Amino acid sequence: MKDNLVVPLCEKYTLSIPEASAYFGICEKKLYKIVNEHSDADFILCNGSKYLIKRKKFEQYIDDAYSI
């Protein structure tokens, strides 16, 4: 495996909060608020103290939402 392997955001299964912010165009502060308000949602994955956003499930959440 190469050390400099870079996976494009559109191909990643999970995104960190900064990556999700760049990908979805939602500020990090708002994403942290969403994560805290929906801590049991299926689009959130916790890795220790780090939150990860399941990209496709969050896309579905956004598609179904009227506002965020």
Question: For position 39, what pLDDT does the model report?
Answer: 87
Spatial separation of the C-alpha atoms in residues 24 and 66, rounded to whole Å = 16
Q: What is the pLDDT of residues 23-45, one digit of tens each?
A: 999 999 999 999 999 989 999 99
Tokens of 3: 């050390």
Of 48, 56, 68, 67, the residue nearest 15 (C-alpha): 56
Does residue 1 carry a pLDDT above 70?
no
